[in-house]
Amino acid sequence: MHSTDTAAAADALATLVSYRTVSSRSPGGTDEAEFEAFLAALPGLFPGVYAAMDVERVNGRALLFRWAGVPRTSSPTDNTAPATTGTAGGLEGPAVLMAHYDVVPAGDEAAWTHPPFSGHNDGTHLWGRGTLDDKGQLAVILSAAEALLAEGFAPARDVYFSFGDNEETAGDSAAAAAALLAERGVRPALVLDEGGAVAGGAFPGVTRPAAVVGVAEKGILDVELLTRDPGGHASTPPRMGATARLARAITRIENHPFPQHLPDVTAEMLRRFGPHAPLPLRLAFARVERLRRPLTWLFGRLGGETNAMTRTTVAITTLRGSAGANVLAATAAANANIRVAVGETVAGTVERLRRIIRDPKVELRVVEGNEPSPVSASYGPAWELLTECIGTAYPEAIVTPYIMMGGTDSRRFTGICEAVYRFAPFAMDRADRASIHAVDEKISLDALGRGVRFYETLLRKL
Ligand SMILES: [Zn+2]
C-alpha cells in the first residue's frame, strides 16, 4: 500500500459524501437526483475499475460489479479464459465484497462541527454522514481495486462488488442482487459486508483493540398488539377497556423476559478475549464452558448490550389509543420491536409472546419478520483468510467472532453462501461508534489507509 492510495481514497470518499443519498421509507422521500449524481460520479473517481469490470445496475440503483478472475494454476494459454472458481487457500468459488451507499438523515445539521455533506478533511479525519456507515467501506474497496488494477493485477477468482442503495430502510436491493447471482449459478465462497469493526475499548479491562467479525445476526420482528372495545364516552368507562388491556399485556411482556442462554459464538468470543483480560476475568473466561450459567446470568445484569447478547429482546416502540381526550379508545395498539436470538424462530417467538400475554383478547399480528441468520464458521479457510488480512492491517488486534444485534444486507446472501461475514476494516473507538446514525460522523485517515491495505491484501490472497 502506498500513502497515495490513502490520499486517493480520502479524496474519493470526500466526493461521495457530498451526495445526499438519504434513504427513506416513504414513497418520494428520497432525492432521486442525488442518487443518480452519486452513481454518475463513480466512473470518474475509479476509471480503472470501470474500464476493467462489468458493471450493472440491480433493482434500480444498486450496483453489481464483476471482476473476472484469471486462474493462477493453469497453463499460460488458459489464462485468457474467465474463471468462475478459484482454489487459493482451500476456498472454492468467487468472492462478494459488499457495502451500501445510502445513508440515514443527518438530523440537526447545525449541530455538526463540520457540515454533514461537506466531506471536510481536517488532516486527521474525514467528516460527514456515511464516512463510517457505509460509504467509507465502498470507497476503500474501490480504491484498493483501482490501485491493484494500476499494477496490472487480476484476481485469481471472480470477485463481485455488491453495493446497496436501500440498506438503511431494510430495502430489497440486496435480495435482488443475491437472487441475480443465484440465477446465474454463482455460489460464493466468501461474502463480506459491513458489521463489526476494529473496536477500541470494547471490552472492560482489555487494552488491545478487538477486531469483531459478525458471523450471524439476530432476526428482526415487528408484532402489532391490538385490543378492541365498544368505545363510548370517557365518563362511563368499562372495566378493562382497550387501553387497560393493552397496558396489562405490555406489563406482562416487561415482567417476563425471554429465556437466557450464552450462544456458542459469544462463548468463543470470551475465550479469545480471555488471555488479554484482567486477572479475575481472565480465569473466568478460560473456564467459560464450566462457568456458562453464572456468566450468562451476569451478562443479563451487566447492561442492555450484554443482556441483548443472551436472549431475544422485546421493545415496545409505538403506542396508539383514542384520538380524543374524552373519548374511550375503540382500539388500542402497540408495536413490539423484537430481536430474535440466533437459534430461535419468528413463529416460536410469537407463540411465546402469546403465552406471556395469556389473554386471547389481545390480537397479535406479524407486521414484518426476518428469521435470525445462520451462523458462519469461526474456523476454516474463509475465516483464516479474513484473520490473516486483518492481521496485516491491524497487527495488534484480537480477532473474534460475534453475533450482530442489528441487521445488514448480507443476510440476503446466506441462501447462496455459508461463509458470510460482517466486518469493516476500520478502527473505531467508543466516540466513533456513537457517531454512527448521530452527529459528527467521521473516519480517521489512518483507518482509511488501513482499510485500503486490508482489501488490497484480501484481493491478492483470494
Ligand atoms: Zn450500514
**Is 456 an active-site residue?**
no
**380 C-alpha to center of ligand 1: Å?**
27
**107 C-alpha to center of ligand 1: Å?**
16
**Position 179, amino acid:** A
Strands 327-328 and 232-233: antiparallel
Pick from 27-31, 89-93, 299-303, 318-322 the range whose average pLDDT is largest.
Answer: 318-322
Residue with cell 450459567: 293
Considering only CA atoms, which of 158, 126, 153 is closest in space to residue 54? 158
Write out the three cell numbers for 121: 478533511
**135 C-alpha to center of ligand 1: Å?**
9
Beta carbons of 13 and 135 less than 8 angstroms apart: yes
Residues 6+ apart with CB under 8 A from 252: 356, 357, 358
The pocket of ion ligand 1, defined by CB under 5 A, consists of 133-134, 194
443 three-class SS: strand
pLDDT-derived band at 301 (thresholds 50, 70, 90) equals confident
pLDDT tens column, 30-87: 999 999 999 999 999 999 999 999 999 999 999 999 999 998 765 444 444 444 444 4
**252 C-alpha to center of ligand 1: Å?**
34
**Is 102 an active-site residue?**
yes
Catalytic: which of 5, 102, 168, 456? 102
pLDDT tens column, 92-106: 899 999 999 999 999
End-to-end CA distance of the chain: 17
* Mean pLDDT, the chain, integer: 92
Strands 313-320 and 398-404: unpaired
Q: How far apart are CA 390 and CA 397, in angstroms?
A: 8
Q: What is the structure's pLDDT at 170? A: 87
Q: Is the pLDDT of residue 160 over 90?
A: yes
Q: What is the dihedral of CA 5, 457, 218, 429, to 10 degrees?
A: -50
**408 C-alpha to center of ligand 1: Å?**
7
Q: What is the structure's pLDDT at 88? A: 52
Catalytic: which of 167, 229, 432, 456? 167
pLDDT-derived band at 280 (thresholds 50, 70, 90) equals confident
Taking the CA atoms of 439, 432, 12 and 137 in sequence, report the sign of the dihedral they define.
negative
Q: How far apart are CA 309 and CA 42, in angstroms?
A: 39
Q: What is the structure's pLDDT at 96? A: 98
Q: State which H helix or E strand residue 95 sits in.
A: strand 95-100
**102 C-alpha to center of ligand 1: Å?**
8
